[in-house]
Amino acid sequence: MSDGEHALVDTKGKFVQVVSDGRKRNDIEWLPGRILLSNKRLVLATNDGKRTIPLSKVSSVTASQMNQPLAQVDSYIKVQAGRNVTLISAKQAEEFQEKLYSTLLDQTVVLVNHPAVKGGVVQDGGWEKGRLKLDGDCINLAIASGTFVELDIDDVGTVEAKEKTIRGDERPLLEVEHTIEGTSVETHISGTPRHVSLIEGLVRQGEQRNIADDVDLSDKETQVLMALYSGISPFKIPDFVDMEIEEVEDVYDRLMEADILEPVRTRREVQLEARGRSIASDAMADQ
């Protein structure tokens, strides 16, 4: 290895290049081999040779749980580098993905607006520089003003990717919904197209895990969800929605069974799951 280069992951797995120089390949065959990741490159080695992908060329990484039974691949990540796209399924999948994202994103400086939205209400904050660091399934953002934002990927409800004029320039933007102390907030993140693309691939994993399937809710259940989403204390919900305490308790039970709420401490104290926040947000938009 060259000066300053050090190994991060050395594992086995399968891989296949599906796009070569911008052209989709038809002769797709998963190849077993060795997967080596350093702080500077990704090496995919077989008995017939090896292919090297410089990390500086990687522009996006996305994960998929799509089953590929013929190749005995349960999950893989898609790595785009320039005009080439490669699918990689590592045996030490979690460690490999975590190290890859960390190497690509740690210490990246981005623009952050937090909280841009709180409890469904747009806030007056502006854009500040923030330094990003990954810690397992958490994105930690240290903002210049001293604020520290911990964005748990498993807590991500929805993600919106947009283009917006920020500080006088048209920039890519991610609007990421999550929670802070039980309250729904949106953290907006902007930066270079490459960095935003990499962050999007990471946070969309949380969105996909918590995607809101079609759920048949009653009017009362929807009212309770919207009230919680707006930041109303669970203890004040009965008065806020004009329902008896026992009736609200029954609603809580049904929503917890549907993985829309989770209990916090006492039976009457609950908070929205990411799936529940997604449903509540859609319901409020329909009002």
Strands 121-122, 23-24: pairing is unpaired
Residue among 136, 141, 68, 60 nearest 107 (CA): 141
Is a pLDDT exceeding 60 seen at residue 232?
yes
CA atoms within 13 A of residue 192's CA, in its CB half-sphere:
8
Fold for domain 106-212?
A: PH-domain like (2.30.29)
Share of the chain above pLDDT 70, in %: 91
Q: Strands 31-38 and 7-20: what pairing?
A: antiparallel
Cβ proximity of 59 and 19 under 8 Å: no
State pLDDT tens for residues 53-65. 999 999 999 988 6
Q: What's the whole-number average pLDDT of the chain?
A: 88
120-162 pLDDT tens trace: 889 988 999 999 999 988 999 999 999 999 999 988 988 999 9
* Fold exhibited by the domain 7-91: PH-domain like (2.30.29)
Pairing of strands 7-20, 23-24: antiparallel
Q: pLDDT by residue (tens digit) across 71-106?
A: 678 889 999 999 999 999 999 899 999 999 999 999
Q: Label residue 37 by pLDDT band (50, 70, 90).
A: very high
Q: In this model, does residue 70 exceed pLDDT 60?
A: no
